[in-house]
Structure 1
Amino acid sequence: MPSSLQPAAERHSVTVLGLGPMGRALAGAFLAAGVRTTVWNRTPGREGDLVERGAAPAASAEEAVAASALTVICLVNYDATDAVLRRPAVTDALRGRTVANLSADVPDRARDTGRWAAEHGIGYLDGAIMTPTPTIGTPEGVFLYGGPEPLYLEHRPVLDALSGSHTHLGEDIGRAAAYDVALLDIFWTSMSGYVHALALARAEGITARELAPFAQGIGAILPPLFEEWAGDVDDRTYSGEGNPLTSGLSTMEHVVHAAEGHGIDASVMRATAALTRRAVDRGYGADGFTRVTELLDLRRGE
């Protein structure tokens, strides 16, 4: 049944599948906004306080999705979502309804799920949550979506109940997951660098608390560089003015030398230095660090 023909109560309600920390936060935000919310979890027992706040518990996933025009699912990955959504009874119950998948996985898996949904007459939006659980239901929450724009606009009033910013990235089902993995790359690479710095500092008798204020200063340098370097990469200018690769390579080698002198694993920095040296050896020593993006793309034959 097309959503426009579904009862108004269904169109102004939501089902949340998955009641881990993020799923519970999503359900709680919907409830706080006054959206009629049905909940279900693979392991019973997590819905208690949500039910006390007004959520309707469902005995099965098929019963849950039948209660609303929009189902929001948030599980650990797409193996888990497939195990729920692709069960025949659940698939049948979803026909003519919409799924917004806010689980985390890779773009190809998102596109595969989009094809599966289309084959079974199910509306599908693939999304990514870019902020932690405490931000859900607050202005600080950030949500990204890929998929048919009319479908996104149709369900935007319910999704807006989560508060925060909501951005539709285009028709490509895998677009949100692509942003997600790229942004997670920034986060985890940065966190790897930070914990390595803390280990190196500790070896030199500097506590983590002593280093932290100066680490925050390094962090403050990054946002303008993100903007500047984005232009370098898109325009393929790779400017090294002020900090050419030859200079950067020297500082990387200092980190490696100091870390390994204390018996600290420096494999991540060694890998970065090796990429930088390869660029220098190919004649790019006067370029900026953004030149390394070309070497990382193995399809380009660099």
Structure 2
Amino acid sequence: MGDNHTSVSVLGLGLMGQALAAAFLRAGHATTVWNRSAGKADALVADGAVLAANPADAVAASGLVVVCVSTYDVVHDVLGPLGDALRGKTVVNLTTGSSEQARQAAVWAEKNGARYLDGAIMITPPGIGAPASVLFYAGEQAVFDTHEPVLRLLGGGTTYLGTDHGKPALFDVSLLGLMWGALNSFLHGVAIVETGGVKAQEFLPWAHMWLDAIKMFTADYAAQIDAGDERFPANDATLATHLGALEHLVEESEALGVDSQLPRYSKALMEGVIAQGHAENSYASVVKAYRRPMAS
């Protein structure tokens, strides 16, 4: 299945779908494409793709069917009417959605006789095909193993997460949350140092240095959380120490006229967990606040 004789159909030609199809074409795979707006296929057709007139023709053209559309509802709108035409096909769904939608789609695919992998793309379209680009997949191991050589064309960081079809969605939203949290904190920091005449690019290398240090903290915290005993040893600083420093951030933000909502949110989390008896524990104990959200 990993050679250039493998045919692939790509349904959905937004920017991401176009990038997926282009990666298959570059590797020499016979590639059939379909999109509701046929004009989006023009460049791909010029590069050798075959434009299918409808989803049924696209599915019939290949054993491996990659779907990347706007929502899971659209997935079902496009593939739902095909019924038995899906039997024996492998559907790889790279549409963004929830873990429950992924699991329901897997049940639907099985009822229609299709093999099914659900996935998540952790890169923007220009990064498709790059060695470091990560794509997550879940489903039956044998199905992934069969198609891994072709799927790896989309990113060298192609990773199998197991049989739970919902797992890629869980990784997707959690990693995006990490990204937004880090970006918001970086921009909040920029707003603070700007008041002292510091440019964002002058601050940037120190932000990078500190992000590397944070990696060490998270490694310790992950081990503590997985230990499951909730003792959360303070190997670096106690939660009470963190709270004291954070209070300075809140005060400095307000004194400088910088929005303080972000540090105030963190302060509220810490205070709630300290109230549960974790003042002398590590910052890892704050996970308790996320598991059991406290009243605002």
TM-score normalised by the chain length of structure 2: 0.91
Query: 1:18 aligns to what?
Result: 12
Q: How does 1:208-227 map to 2 (within 5 A)?
A: 208-227=200-219
Query: 1:41 aligns to what?
Result: 35
Q: How does 1:105-120 map to 2 (within 5 A)?
A: 105-120=97-112
Q: How does 1:77-92 map to 2 (within 5 A)?
A: 77-86=71-80, 88=81, 90-92=82-84
1:55 positional shift: 0.7
1:163 positional shift: 4.3
Query: 1:191 aligns to what?
Result: 183
Instruction: Write the distance in 1 (CA, Å) between the matches of 2:183 and 2:175.
Output: 12
In structure 2, list runs of 5 or more residues that go unmatched.
Answer: none
Report Cα offsets for 1:201-237 as digits up to 9, x if no partner. Answer: 2234322122111111111212222322210110144
Q: Is the 8 A contact 1:10 1:68 kept in 2?
A: no
Q: How does 1:98-109 map to 2 (within 5 A)?
A: 98-109=90-101
Instruction: Write the distance in 1 (CA, Å) between the matches of 2:279 and 2:196.
Output: 31
Q: Is the 8 A contact 2:4 2:28 kept in 1?
A: no
1:300 positional shift: 11
Instruction: Write the distance in 2 (CA, Å) between the matches of 1:228 and 1:280.
Output: 20
In structure 1, list runs of 5 or more residues that go unmatched.
Answer: none
1:291 positional shift: 0.2
Report Cα offsets for 1:17-57 as digits up to 9, x if no partner. Answer: 11122111111111111111111122221111111111111
- Is 1:256 equivalent to 2:259 in the alignment? no
1:247 positional shift: 1.0
Instruction: Write the distance in 1 (CA, Å) between the matches of 2:259 and 2:76.
Output: 39
Q: Which of these residues, 142, 152, 159, is aligned with residue 167 of structure 1? A: 159
Instruction: Write the distance in 1 (CA, Å) between the matches of 2:142 and 2:215.
Output: 34
1:61 positional shift: 1.6
- Is 1:58 equivalent to 2:52 in the alignment? yes
Instruction: Write the distance in 1 (CA, Å) between the matches of 2:151 and 2:235.
Output: 45
SS of 1:75's equivalent in the other structure is coil
Instruction: Write the distance in 1 (CA, Å) between the matches of 2:126 and 2:35.
Output: 20
Amino acid at match of 1:183: L
Instruction: Write the distance in 1 (CA, Å) between the matches of 2:26 and 2:158.
Output: 18
SS of 1:126's equivalent in the other structure is strand
Amino acid at match of 2:77: A
1:68 positional shift: 0.6
Query: 1:232 aligns to what?
Result: 224
Distance 1:10 1:61, change over 3 A: farther
Q: Which of these residues, 101, 125, 139, is aligned with residue 133 of structure 1? A: 125
Amino acid at match of 1:211: F
- Provide the aligned length of Structure 1 versus Structure 2: 293
Query: 2:283 aligns to what?
Result: 289
Amino acid at match of 1:105: G
Amino acid at match of 1:101: N
What RMSD over aligned residues (CA atoms) do the two structures have, in Å? 2.4
Distance 1:258 1:114, change over 3 A: same
SS of 1:47's equivalent in the other structure is helix
Q: Is the 8 A contact 1:294 1:300 kept in 2?
A: no
Percent identity over paired residues: 38
- Is 1:93 equivalent to 2:81 in the alignment? no
Report Cα offsets for 1:264-284 as digits up to 9, x if no partner. Answer: 332222111111011222221
Instruction: Write the distance in 2 (CA, Å) between the matches of 1:239 and 1:140.
Output: 35
1:103 positional shift: 1.5
Amino acid at match of 2:280: A
SS of 1:100's equivalent in the other structure is strand
SS of 1:12's equivalent in the other structure is coil
Amino acid at match of 2:103: R
Instruction: Write the distance in 1 (CA, Å) between the matches of 2:84 and 2:4.
Output: 17
Query: 2:136 aligns to what?
Result: 144
Instruction: Write the distance in 1 (CA, Å) between the matches of 2:132 and 2:218.
Output: 21
Amino acid at match of 2:55: A
Report Cα offsets for 1:132-157 as digits up to 9, x if no partner. Answer: 32221121121211111111122223
1:165 positional shift: 2.4
Instruction: Write the distance in 2 (CA, Å) between the matches of 1:49 and 1:263.
Output: 50
- Is 1:27 equivalent to 2:21 in the alignment? yes
SS of 1:165's equivalent in the other structure is coil
Instruction: Write the distance in 2 (CA, Å) between the matches of 1:138 and 1:157.
Output: 14
Query: 1:180 aligns to what?
Result: 172
SS of 1:243's equivalent in the other structure is coil
